[in-house]
Structure 1
Amino acid sequence: MSPVSPKLLAFDTSTEHLSVAVLHGDRLLAHEGAGGAQASSTLLPLIRRLLGEAGLPLAELDAIAFGRGPGSFTGLRTACSVAQGLAYGAKVPLLPVDTLLAVAEEARHAFGAQQVVAALDARMEQVYAARYDFAAHGPLGQPEGGEEPLLLAPEELEVPAGWALAGNAFAAYGSRLAPAAARHEALPMAAAMLRLAPALLAAGRTVPAAQAWPLYVRDKVAQTTEERAAIKAAAAQR
């Protein structure tokens, strides 16, 4: 007898793209659209619509997956607060998913990349980055306790020989990023989170609503006038 497919809701608002997906048996329903400032007002109606189309009551979900970060501070708070509110009301566990892992999974699924450096534009002349080796470590890309996401300047990002570079940092920093075996535009898609969910569930990664927190990485979002001037001067020199 084949295992029963979990009933899952997943969403990500960590970038300017909003991604929501529902898995119910063999049915996968997804929505992709504009995020950013719109996400706080559109996320809940989209969730209700997709659950309704899937015929899946919120309380019947096995877990709610959300992009925990790193990413936009506002976007991470939106995803986490919505996930917590839904989980408290329906008594459903939460499955926090690293956004960079979702980017790497999207590159693996769409382009066949097995060794991926995931990089997301962190603004302020920096990128969020992490490495995932699906060939060596299976469906989660890296072993338990693997390296934490990094926050660094584009020039500081290292890509091992033969690895792919995936994410949304190319438009802003393309010529400043290290060479790679391939470059793939990829975002932390809700469907990617659903593909990761079985391994994450098996690894015991669900948490109660009270223990779900965003992963910010950066602890500062504002710059002084002097810091902004220094960044502009450094960019001009490059």
Structure 2
Amino acid sequence: MPRLLAFDTSTEHLSVAVRHGERLFTHSGAGGAQASSTLIPLILQLLAEAGLELAALDAIAFGRGPGSFTGLRTACSVAQGLAFGAGVPLLPVDTLLAVAEEARHAFGARQVVAVLDARMDQLYAARYDFDGGGALGGADSEPLLLAPEALEVPAGWSLAGNAFAAYGPRLAPAATRHEVLPTATAMLRLAPALLAAGRTVDAAHAWPLYVRDKVAQTTDERAAIKAAALAGPPVANQS
């Protein structure tokens, strides 16, 4: 079994895990703005508990996105720095695939629409079919950025992710829902198949997957949105 380090900082939750043979060492906690200062000490702590040096790892897996811009940059830069220093290959893992794997593992969901809250009234979403796609879920689509109402969940598929509290009934209300996050342990479960598929990259070629190329509205856009909200819905012409 490969010796692996995995971590994800794509949401407000930080997740780190190390596998050394049959032993698994994990940490989960608050992420967000704290992740940039706490991630490296946590990694070193778990490696020490596992009795592993960085250079002894077969690969370092990290959540490449989509997700929080700051979180993705943190994960990618830490992964690159560790890999450059130790000469270890990197294994970028799509965060939506990790969400789908967590739903498969925890709830037995085999056909999953994975979603993450993208803020700004939007979602990141992708479909994964573990029945038709083996260990990697056979993605039916590239990660998409869309409004909650625009999300389509096929009959019989599950919906998994962290966007339910934010969007409630606007988000496929008839679908079975699983509240899960992209975790480092999910990435470790995915890693053997990803390694077998040749998905490792050199540190110089590891990049975040943003999907959205814009993180905030301009002042004019915010003003227009506020004005529209104050105006309320359009009134039908009764003439």
TM-score (norm 1): 0.94
Q: CA deviation at 1:180?
A: 4.3
- Structure 1 equivalent of residue 35 of structure 2: 39
CA offsets 1:6-43 (integer angstroms, 9 cap, x no match): 00000000000000000000001100000000000000
From 82, 107, 111, the equivalent of 2:78 is: 82
From 133, 141, 161, the equivalent of 1:167 is: 161
Percent of aligned pairs with the same residue?
83
Q: Is 1:206 aligned to 2:221, yes or no?
A: no
Q: CA deviation at 1:182?
A: 1.1
Judged with a 3 Å threshold, the aligned counterparts in structure 2 of structure 1 residues 52 and 105 are, in CA distance, closer, same or farther, namely same
- Structure 1 equivalent of residue 237 of structure 2: none
Distance 2:105 2:225 in 1: 36
From 217, 227, 230, the equivalent of 2:211 is: 217
Contact 1:162 1:180 in 2 (8 A): no
- Structure 1 equivalent of residue 114 of structure 2: 118
Please identify the structure whose Cα radius of gyration is greater: 2
Q: Which structure 2 segments of 5+ residues have no match?
A: 234-239
The RMSD of aligned alpha carbons is: 1.6
Q: Is 1:127 aligned to 2:134, yes or no?
A: no
Judged with a 3 Å threshold, the aligned counterparts in structure 2 of structure 1 residues 132 and 231 are, in CA distance, closer, same or farther, namely farther
Judged with a 3 Å threshold, the aligned counterparts in structure 2 of structure 1 residues 86 and 192 are, in CA distance, closer, same or farther, namely same
Contact 1:159 1:179 in 2 (8 A): no
Judged with a 3 Å threshold, the aligned counterparts in structure 2 of structure 1 residues 210 and 230 are, in CA distance, closer, same or farther, namely same
Q: Is 1:178 aligned to 2:182, yes or no?
A: no
Within 5 A, what are the aligned runs for 1:186-197?
186-197=180-191
Q: CA deviation at 1:54?
A: 0.3
Q: CA deviation at 1:225?
A: 3.0
TM-score (norm 2): 0.93
Within 5 A, what are the aligned runs for 1:1-150?
5-142=1-138, 146-150=140-144
Which amino acid in structure 2 is aligned with residue 78 of structure 1?
T
Distance 2:8 2:25 in 1: 15
Contact 1:163 1:180 in 2 (8 A): no
